[in-house]
Amino acid sequence: MARKDASTVGIDLHEGEIRIVQVKTRANKTIISKIGRASMPHGAVIRGKVMQPGSVAIALRLLLNSMDIGANSRAVFGILGDTTLLRTLPVPPVPDNDLTTIVTGEVEHYGIVKTEGGTHSFLRLFPPPPRNTDPMALASASSANQENLRPVNVTIVALEEDVIANLRETAHEANIGIEALEPSQYAMYRSVLAASANATSAFGLMVNPSNTDIAIAYRGNLVAYRRIDTGSRSILMTVPSHIDYGYVEPSQDLFVDDLQEYDANEIELNSAAIESLSVEVQRTLDYYQREFPNIGIGDVLYLCIDDSRIVPLADELSQRLGVTIELVQPVGSPNDSPDVTTELVSGSGPLYSAAYGLALQGQLMAKVPRVDLFIKERSAVQKAESKRNFKGSIITSIIAIALGSVVYSLYGKQITQLQNDTREKESVASELRKKTDTTLAHRHNQSEQYKALRHEGVPLTAIMDFISMNLDRATSLNQLVVSTDLTVTIDGSSINEKVMLETQSRLQTCPVIHDLQMVTFYQQPEDAGYGVAFQFKGKTISLDRVEYAEDVKQ
């Protein structure tokens, strides 16, 4: 059962856009709570790989802030098809608990993962009932035994170390945790199942820049999964000079939203690429309609796209294949926020199919197995942390035992002398207690007076001391203002965006400042200074809430 008010954020880092969908579950009902997109910095993501983690992190954090999504959210990141290797293999029939071991052996045998830090996951394929089979026979024991003897087909998804490392750095600099890494096309498949919830079978086409994945489902189980080397790049034959990878360069005075304003006649799709794609789709349809005529695929094909300019692909494929093509977008509900509804009806809905599927990974799509390509790295971090804690506990125990032995030895030698001095020291102690009581009463009065004096003040000295100790030489502080409502405004500049984010992370650890957020930043002109100017804002506390060492003693 889903958790009450559980939420998951799906983040699709496309080459031209960052697309985010937040899904919440309340009373076993899925609600799209937030949705948004923003331009990707030019050249920051090339062929599916994050090339500029710092730039992507800034753009991602600004979009998350604008959507009021905090750092504690569970985020599932999408991986574009350029960076994932897909291979379907038959493996011996084994119990499900042993399947992971068998697949890992096959991955090592074929050398599918090339780098030490690379990882893989797999999808088990479930063949539908064979043609002309009596349902009663399928339920018989003999049929079940024959089923157990069949090889198991699995589709393996592999990802190399450098892709994971760059995504990890991006998430770290954006101050958001990675719940999982999943292929964006498989996330689109999850959106297909959400869109075809009432259908017995579903045939999905999931388009990425470099390739298109085909997925066939029967009664919620994955029957087939394959990849075709035709994507949105090859489908878009003519592209204006100021557009790269299907999107507008940030240096131009044109944004991604303006792409929908293009006249469809100005965008010419590559007929040869569409023909190649339709031929492969038709071959797949023919095979499964011939081998499994009872599952009813082919009535409707569900199409997920990654670029608004290939919307006409749906009509092209429909004419060539002679079937209905349905564009997939997030499945809205009356409980969605008004902003979500506005965005979905604006025509941008199909662009969110990957982000929506990523967000659904942790929600009600229980029949869709998760593909987590971050589990190896997460396990390594947890193992290292456990090892470090265990080692520290052992060292601490050894030190404690050694100190205990020394103390016991010294105590044994001195016990006789202490007994002889006890009576004399008891009288001295009595006198000291009287003096101590008098001193404590005096200090208590001073403390009450001091608290009364600093009740209306702010810990400006503590803030400045913390900044002076933690400010990097590559960052300069121009102004610090604390207003009457305890709002702290910090203006400064750094040599680049990465140093700026590091400065923000350091200042967020200040014990007397909380909720420190970036308000704005911009590149300074040469005559005004250097690097990136920024402004942070947070909240401080009144001086009477600051706990000093002297307070602790009291």
Around Cβ 187, how many Cβ atoms within 10 Å? 29
What is the distance of C-alpha 513 from the center of its chain?
Answer: 27
Question: What's the pLDDT at 312?
Answer: 94
Residue 31's beta-bridge partner residues?
24
CA–CA gap between residue 350 and residue 219 (Å, rounded): 24
CA–CA gap between residue 106 and residue 122 (Å, rounded): 11
Q: pLDDT tens across 121-145, in order?
A: 999 998 887 665 554 544 443 444 4
CATH number at residue 300: 3.30.420.380
Q: Are strands 152-159 and 119-124 parallel, antiparallel or unpaired?
A: antiparallel
In a domain, 387, yes or no: no
CA–CA gap between residue 417 and residue 425 (Å, rounded): 12
Could you tell me the two tokens for 320? 């060539």
In terms of domains, do 184 and 237 share one? yes
Cβ–Cβ < 8 Å for 263, 187: no
In terms of domains, do 439 and 505 share one? no
In terms of domains, do 430 and 354 share one? no
In terms of domains, do 440 and 302 share one? no
CA–CA gap between residue 248 and residue 259 (Å, rounded): 8
In terms of domains, do 322 and 266 share one? yes
Could you tell me the two tokens for 256? 């991604």
In terms of domains, do 418 and 495 share one? no
| Amino acid identity at 285 | L
- Residue 525, CB half-sphere, CA atoms under 13 Å: how many? 2
CA–CA gap between residue 403 and residue 409 (Å, rounded): 10
Residue at a domain's end among 318, 342, 373: 373
Residue at a domain's end among 373, 402, 426: 373
Helix 161-173 with 53-66: angle, nearest 10 deg:
50
In terms of domains, do 144 and 227 share one? yes
In a domain, 382, yes or no: no
DSSP 476-543: EEEEEEE-TT-EEEEEEEESSHHHHHHHHHHHTT-TTEEEEEEEEEEEPPTTT-SSEEEEEEEEE--G
What is the distance of C-alpha 82 from the center of its chain?
Answer: 19
Angle at alpha carbon of residue 183, lines to 308 and 353, rounded to 5°: 35
Number of domains in the chain: 3
First to last CA, the chain: 50
Report residues of the chain scoring pLDDT below 50.
1-3, 135, 137-145, 147, 238-262, 264, 384-385, 407, 549-554
Question: What's the pLDDT at 13?
Answer: 96
Q: Are strands 513-523 and 487-494 parallel, antiparallel or unpaired?
A: unpaired
Residue at a domain's end among 453, 475, 504: 453
- Those residues whose C-beta lies under 8 Å from the C-beta of residue 495, and which sit 6 or more positions away, are 474, 475, 530, 531, 532
In terms of domains, do 418 and 278 share one? no
Angle at alpha carbon of residue 22, lines to 198 and 199, rounded to 5°: 10
In terms of domains, do 257 and 401 share one? no
Helices in 127-231 by DSSP H: which ranges?
A: 135-138, 141-149, 161-173, 184-195
CATH number at residue 534: 3.30.1360.100
In terms of domains, do 308 and 338 share one? yes
**Domain ranges, residue 57:** 6-373
DSSP one-letter code for 200: S
In a domain, 380, yes or no: no
CA–CA gap between residue 189 and residue 203 (Å, rounded): 9
What is the distance of C-alpha 482 from the center of its chain?
Answer: 35
In terms of domains, do 206 and 92 share one? yes
Helix 497-507 with 460-470: angle, nearest 10 deg:
140
Q: What are phi and psi of 426, to 5 degrees?
A: -65, -40
Residue 296, CA distances (Å) to 198, 286, 378, 487 in order = 13, 12, 41, 63
In a domain, 299, yes or no: yes
Question: What's the pLDDT at 452?
Answer: 59
- The long-range contacts involving 235-241, CB below 8 angstroms and separated by at least 24 positions, are 235/207, 235/269, 235/270, 235/273, 235/274, 235/277, 235/310, 235/313, 236/267, 236/269, 236/270, 236/307, 236/309, 236/310, 237/268, 237/269, 237/270, 237/271, 237/273, 238/267, 238/268
Tokens 């990890």 label which residue? 168
CA–CA gap between residue 330 and residue 349 (Å, rounded): 7
In terms of domains, do 404 and 546 share one? no
pTM, 2 dp: 0.64
In a domain, 258, yes or no: yes
Cβ–Cβ < 8 Å for 208, 185: yes
| Amino acid identity at 123 | L
Q: pLDDT tens across 335-388, in order?
A: 888 899 999 988 899 999 999 999 998 655 556 788 888 887 665 555 544 555
Angle at alpha carbon of residue 176, lines to 24 and 539, rounded to 5°: 95
- Those residues whose C-beta lies under 8 Å from the C-beta of residue 487, and which sit 6 or more positions away, are 537, 538, 539, 540
In a domain, 379, yes or no: no
In a domain, 383, yes or no: no
In a domain, 51, yes or no: yes
CA dihedral 224, 227, 233, 238 (to 10 degrees): -80
